[in-house]
Structure 1
Amino acid sequence: MRLCLKTVLLVLGMLTVFISPAILWAAPQENLPNVVILLADDQGWGDLSLHGNTNLSTPHIDSLANEGAQFDHFFVCPVCAPTRAEFMTGRYYARTGVRGVSTGEERMNPNELTIADVFQTAGYATGAFGKWHNGTQFPYHPNARGFEEYFGFTAGHWGHYFSPLLDHNNQLTLGEGYLTDDLTNHAIDFISTQYAADKPFLCYLPFNIPHSPMQVPDKFYDQVKNRELKMHHRDPEKEEELHLRAALAMCENIDFNVGRLLAHLDQLNLAEDTIIVYFSDNGPNGWRWNGDMKGKKGTIDEGGVRVPCLIRWKGTIPAGTVIKPIAGAIDLLPTITSLAGISFDLKYPIDGKNLAPLLLGEKEDEVNRKIISYHPPRERRGKIVGPLVSVRSQQYRLDSQGQLFDMFQDPGQRNDVASAHPDIVNELQKSSNEFLASLGEIPTSDTRPFSVGGAKITQLPARDGVAHGEVQRSAGAPNCSYFTHWTGAEGDKITWHVDVLDDAEYEVQIHYACRAKDVGASFEVRFQDSHLQGKVTEPNDPPLVGKEQDRTNDRGSESYVKDWKPMTVGTIHLEKGAGQLTLKELNVPGDEVMEVRLIQLIKQ
């Protein structure tokens, strides 16, 4: 099988890959390697013992590089959802509809072809287990993007990591135990099922950590809580010790789960038949050792966008390979499909490069490549800020302020050498200008409505809604928030800007909380000329969950969660078209109508 695949690789390396909503050709459905993609959430380049960090131990992750290859300088986006879109499509995220991490800005356009679409068409079983973060409602849901099996959460972060409310193929369910362990269990079960069916598989396991909330089982935290930490950030006074120790423990939990998955592949004798890729979605989510690089998550400096990327295919990729040319998340789709021997015709050029020849030890002249890091324009305090672009070549980085850094001589970006190299500044600035020009008009906000009716069940979480009047979010970060303080004051209401895809009857279900003394409030659900009245008849007053598991004293802008109760309101007829779905109080006998986590619209 290996000789046959290598022959295919030589041919594919000479092909130009394009992108299209439809795959026109795929590899024969035989002798195909399995593929496992492991994606950490907020793990920096420095968060591996492989890279010299003695504060933690990650032997299982490190083994992927020792037994395979590592990319020396691998670049992703400064925040989560954009990186996931680039990995999925091979295209810079600004081309895919993604522009942020919440309130709909994380959605990847439905006409984008994903890596799962490609593998599914080639005959693979496809499963994703973890944080999706590229859209919740169909056609954005992972089940609509090439993954036949999905278990996890679709938002940008989750408020609790122990047996939380999750999504299993678009149905709400409860997890079992620590979330990262649970996701790995589901991935292992998926692999076992496909092995038994003798079917090749694409298994995507996007972990949820070390993203906050900083929660990790005692077994892992106890190992680091008193550990002597010898490696520190270049500005050590910025470190927050509780956050730092929790992050280290969470990274070691990832390593534990990577070890479980690798052992399972060994048990099934699949190690030589499986391509494994490990990377992270952005720089570290806190100030900690990161190899003297400038910046962290959220910045487009080196420390915010350089992450580990390791790839192992035993018996095919030479052990201990180090890839020196710069690379990025945009390269993963063309590289992995080439390694797997899958080719397809696409409609327009992608931004990524096929790096399979480098991984296989074939010589390739180093090209004058550049990789773009980008922040979209934002309105802040009445002014438009951005767009911001940083351009990385093999040797230099031009930052968003026009400063130039020689990354060979000055990897910490301390000395601006722009005045000494005006020709290089002009070359990199030209690349920046061409990139921005290729995007066309760049919106400063996302006005796309949320789709209703693309599947039997449509979830409309508070994250995607808008509070009016005195209604408030439970916390500043929308992703896992809920609406509270709905007192019935003048102007109070909650709305969702939706696009109903089909005329139909929809059962309305609200996941709510309400104190006993506030029971009895009535309200209205309205869309266009249709409306439905409901009443809160039963209390549900659960405590906030999560604080007792937090390893830090302050969550910042992130919400705690509750055990929400579903309330079936009734059935409403929704006509095709866009408009505002509105929750409005009619009578408030107590202090508050209710707290609202999400609405489910169930097509009848």
Structure 2
Amino acid sequence: MKQSIMLLLLLTAIHGPWSMAHGQKPNIGGQRSAVGGPTATKPQNAKPNIVLIMTDDQGYGDFGFTGNPHVKTPHIDQLAARSTRLTNYHNSPVCAPTRASLLTGRYHQRTGVHDTYNGGAIMASEEVTLAEILSKNGYQTGIVGKWHLGDNYPFRPSDQGFQYSLVHGGGGVGQPGDFYENFIRTDSSYFNTTLYENDRKVQRQGYCSDVFTDQALTFLKQKRASPFFLYVSYNAPHTPLQLPKKYEDMYKDLAFDTETDRQEGKAWAKMTDKDKADARKVYGMATNIDDNVGRILAELKSQGLEENTIVIFLTDNGNQQLRFNTGFRGLKGSAWEGGTRVPFLISGAGLFEPNKEVNALLAHIDVVPTLLQAVKIPLPANIKTDGRAALKTIQGKLAPAPRKFYNSWNRGWPEPYRNAAFYQDNYKLVASNADGDDLNTFGLFDLDKDPFEQNNLVQSQPALAKQLKKGLDSVFNDISNSPNLTPRRIIVGSEHEPVSILTRQDLNGTNMGAWLADKATGYWNITIAQDGYYNLRSIHTGTIAKGTRSLIRLGHIQRSALAKGEDNAVAINRIWLKKGDYVVESWFEGQGGVTGPYYVELTADR
């Protein structure tokens, strides 16, 4: 009872006297507090540290402070109470695009990232990240968790400014872009996970979120004497929904029978039994994350770093599965608000007012210029961001300027009207499988009056809709001609990466809807760094039947070998390759027809 009263007081302090649990409209815009300076102070002549914490597929409604009646997130709720909360902040609809924009301040298409796999989640090495800028200005930089912007040289965290890294492979633990050892453990890959530590393969014991937090605490202890940037990028609560029994048991009897769960007209009122089972696990994973965030915050305090550390907490996109999300339309992957609007908390270093809400339109492309402004490091002259420095707006010292923002994502290469949105101040145009020749197939919404995107204004305000469509077309035409929006090539045979593993994460082709299946085939784009002999292994998940022919094609060079029926890989050694660009294909021909490998390993024979 005492805990319930304390949580109620906390939520009231954050949101004011309203309750989503009783079906009232969420305080999306919030009330801006009077402009006043934060009370905390920072040591003189000390640059602020930065801790950026991001979770994966955790939606706007997956927290106590946003009104969820079920999930237990007390540490993040307390962080929210002492943070400035951006209530109109947007990421991309999916993982890799968000990460590219967050670290560069540029629309993700400009960085070369246009998808979550299928060769579309490799950020151009020419891009300059926040980590690179900070490291050149005296910061120690580290990442733990999810990278999802390229697993091979020259696209790894270590190639993009992070001096320390402990990350999983691909876009998710246990996916075919991750380590083979994780992928084959379909029911336990989140435990005792194989990871990359500074580009070397390691295995860490324990649950993945706990492991990443342990390493984050070690980083804080080791780097406390220097200004640091720590990027804690949890892969949870992304699927597969695996979690420790302690946290699963917390929600195993959750019945979803509150007034909020039955709220008429809300999508979550129609949750299936599968949706509810998934939500119970997601909530358990969210509570585990909350405990780990609490550990990080406690370590900052114990190390005396709390007052001079900017702490940011956010999620990467909307929730993947159907559950409470305060009422926003759509899920992860969509350009509707439910796919892109996420919580954003920022505090610390005497720069941000506690318990304040800011409803200015802000986005991931603003984070780099804003943080650089906060730590008083100029943006390098050769870098052009799509975002803007918003520190004074967040502090309440400058009224929000007129704003336009573009957001989109679709499988494969960019398309203009498949899944895109264009914002102009409080108005938003949505193109969801729209016909570019028929304005009536678009959606136009006034988000100040209609944050849940229920009232389409296209027919009542066609001139405004046409104006916003013109803006959408202009940005799309600009970014679709970006020089980095071309296939990225993994460099093989470099001293920086002695063994190159090509995974299905970066496999290209039109058959990638089946990327989890044996039948998936495609190609990789690579560059051979130097002339020489190369050894190749095509790797399957199980023993390859005797007599199955394994084939490798590199440009016009094709070789094959027969499986002996004793292993899950077939090696083809000492193929002479000249320096240059190649398209790599690998497949098996056997009694079951043509199938594809899950991994291809290339090593220079030196």
Q: TM-score, normalised by structure 1?
A: 0.79
Pair 280,30 (structure 1): closer, same or farther in 2 beyond 3 Å: same
Q: Match of 1:269? A: 304
Alignment match, 1:173: 202
Structure 2 distance, partners of 1:425, 1:484, is 46
- Residues 1:177 and 1:270: Cα distance change in structure 2 (over 3 Å): same
Q: Shift of residue 224 of structure 1?
A: 1.0
Percent identity of the aligned residues? 28
What are the Cα deviations for residues 360-379 of structure 1, in whole angstroms up to 9, with x where unaligned?
x3521221112222135868
Unaligned stretches of 5+ in structure 2? 1-43, 175-188, 432-440
Deviates more, 1:241-250 or 1:345-354: 345-354
Q: Counterparts of 1:132-531 in structure 2 under 5 Å?
A: 132-159=147-174, 160-195=189-224, 198-229=225-256, 230=258, 231-232=260-261, 234-235=266-267, 236-239=269-272, 240-313=275-348, 315-347=350-382, 349-359=384-394, 361-376=395-410, 386-400=417-431, 401-441=441-481, 447-454=487-494, 455-456=496-497, 457-465=499-507, 476=513, 478=515, 481=516, 484=518, 495-515=523-543, 518-519=545-546, 523=550, 525-527=552-554
Deviations 1:192-216 (A, max 9, x none): 2222xx2222111111111111111
C-alpha displacement of 1:598: 1.8
In 1, the alpha carbon distance for the partners of 2:518 and 2:302 equals: 50
Post-superposition offset of 1:45 = 0.9
Alignment deviations for residues 483-512 of structure 1 (CA, whole Å, 9 cap, x no partner): 7369xxxxxx87533222332444445544
- Tell me how far apart the structure 2 counterparts of residues 377 and 597 of structure 1 sit (CA, whole Å): 21
- Superposed CA offset, 1:398-446 (max 9, x none): 2214322222222221112234334533442332132123225489x96
User: Which secondary structure state, in structure 1, belongs to the residue aligned with residue 288 of structure 2?
Assistant: helix
| Range with bigger deviation, 137-146 or 230-239 | 230-239
1:286-322 per-position Cα deviation (integer Å, ceiling 9, x unaligned): 1111111111111111111100001121543221122
Paired residue for 2:37?
none
Matched position secondary structure for 1:420: coil
SS of the equivalent of 2:236 reads strand
Cα pair distance change 1:432/1:319, threshold 3 Å: same
Q: Is the 1:83–1:281 contact (alpha carbons within 8 Å) kept by the matching residues of 2?
A: yes
Unaligned stretches of 5+ residues in structure 1: 1-28, 487-492, 541-564
Q: Give the equivalent residue in structure 2 for 1:599.
A: 600
The 2-side partners of 1:250 and 1:275 are apart by 25
Tell me the residue number matched to 1:580: 583
Q: Does 1:74 align with 2:71?
A: no
Structure 1's 299 and 219: CA in aligned 2 closer, same or farther, altered over 3 A? same
Structure that is richer in strand per residue: 1
User: Cα distance 1:287–1:467, how it changes in 2: closer, same or farther (>3 A)?
Assistant: closer
Q: How many pairs are equivalent?
A: 528
What's the counterpart of residue 33 of structure 2?
A: none
Counterparts of 1:357 and 1:375, CA distance in 2: 30
Q: 1:174 to 1:365 in 2, by over 3 A?
A: same
- Which moved further from structure 2: 92-101 or 506-515? 506-515
Contact 1:379 1:385 in 2 (8 A): no
> How many Å separate the matches in 2 of 1:327 and 1:287?
25
Answer yes or no: is the 8 Å Cα contact 1:502–1:576 preserved in 2: yes
Give, in whole Å, the separation in 2 of the partners of 1:293 and 1:485.
38
In structure 1, C-alpha distance between the alignment counterparts of 2:379 and 2:601, rounded to whole Å: 38
Distance across 2 between alignment mates of 1:294 and 1:452: 44
User: 1:232-272 CA distances to partner (integer Å, 9 max, x unpaired)?
Assistant: 38122144111111111111111111011111111211111
Deviation at 1:39? 0.9
- Name which of 106, 109, 116 aligns with 1:91: 106
